[in-house]
Structure 1
Amino acid sequence: MSVIEALNKTALFSGMTSSALRIIAKGAHSISVPCGAHLFESGDEARSFFLLTSGIVRLYRAGLDGEDKVYQVLGEGDLIAETAMFSKPCVYPLSAQAESDCDLYRLHKEGLTELAANDSRFALYLLEQMSGRLYQAVNRFDQLTVANAGQRLVMYLLALIQEQKSHWLTLPVSVKVLAKQLNMSPETLSRLLARFRESDMISGRGRKWVVSDAAGLCRVTNLPLPEAMSSMAGSQFFRCCNFG
């Protein structure tokens, strides 16, 4: 798939004219990053943003306690650090590390900033997208700091059901990384999964799980039923904050 085709499939750039996409794609080139390698680290000068065509990347920042704080996990078709291209000073606020072998397009910031400077409609649309992500980030922060660990896990599973359109789920990351993303220890996450599995509300292991009783998960964690939760969380609830 060409970079133009790949850009046209993203939520941000879909429907844009070919001439606009060519401006964004000017100077782009494909790269491969092995599992464990970094695309960039927090504080690095932000000269490029990325389009992930295969693999998984996590955005994180090292905490004062030495533990990584995972802000987002990205997959195929996601853009990485496009909003950082407009920051002053222009540095990456988060680190990006490959959780698997990844293929990406590296895109220069000049194409994106040129288009925003010369196309007022695109600039306004970009502001709308950033505003929406900021709203999601505030909601997510509220949920991660108010809800307890069991509620956070159930909300995540319900959001994953929406995203994958199935109760047969594949976790996009390891349990260890997921625990950091949900602001809990790996031991706490493992205990919760075991508790829900023993109650026959879920089954599985590793990254493969089946949610057989979503309503039961909500009841035992004192959450609204799944129908109400879908409007509160949304399939992108735990995938916001793309400010890497």
Structure 2
Amino acid sequence: MDLGLRGKKALVTGGTRGVGRGIVLALAHAGVDVVTCYRSESEHVASLERELKEIGGDHLVVQADLTQPVRVARLLEQVRETHGGVLDLVVNNAGAISHIPYEQLSLDEWQRVLATNLTAAHLVVQHALPLLRAGSSVVSIGSKAVDAGIPLRSHYTATKAALVGLNRSLAKEFGPRGIRFNVVALGVVETENLHALPEADRRLMIERYSAKTALGRLGLPEEVAGAVLWLAGDLSRYVTGSTVSVDGGIS
């Protein structure tokens, strides 16, 4: 199915692994030119570059620590140079998580997760605004943890809840300019982190969380990408300020 995305320009943060990688590859296959970034060097960077080259298009994979405001500014300058001053889609995917009892949660860790999950998204959007135009779409990757509440993740859940509020306000503020803002709230998705667990732990995680979903299984990165592709194009042109759950009916 042609979604009408060919030739559009996108920025996806944190796109070399997991959900972000699935989004980048799906966009590239749909004919979108993508800039994506990563924080740390790994084998995933080179393999993504190879895959994008095989797909074809005008893509760029760059290193950027989004907790550093000066690096966010440089990233968006690279986007401007690569995409010719135009940006049709921004996907705020880069994120950080840890599991810490609230009583033991240090200020440093609170600020690290806040800087990665919330402040970086804010800075990316601010710097992207001069490149966005009527019809552009901004998608932030959220979490069903906002609704459920999960022990040991109070700092993470707080940032994802804040993204929902930011999204609603930006949708109202920039709606007159024709720029849409939405959140995609995820359940449990199979990524490299899950598959890196010892086999017994991996099996237990899959069984436990699959049983909580209506579909009886975990999600896949390409299924998250499907929602992002929909929000990127004209099929969703009247959808803004919304939170779209991609969670398999988790409860």
TM-score range, shorter chain: under 0.3
Query: Is the strand fraction higher in 1 or 2?
Result: 1
TM-score normalised by the chain length of structure 2: 0.25
TM-score, normalised with respect to structure 1: 0.25
More helix by share: 2
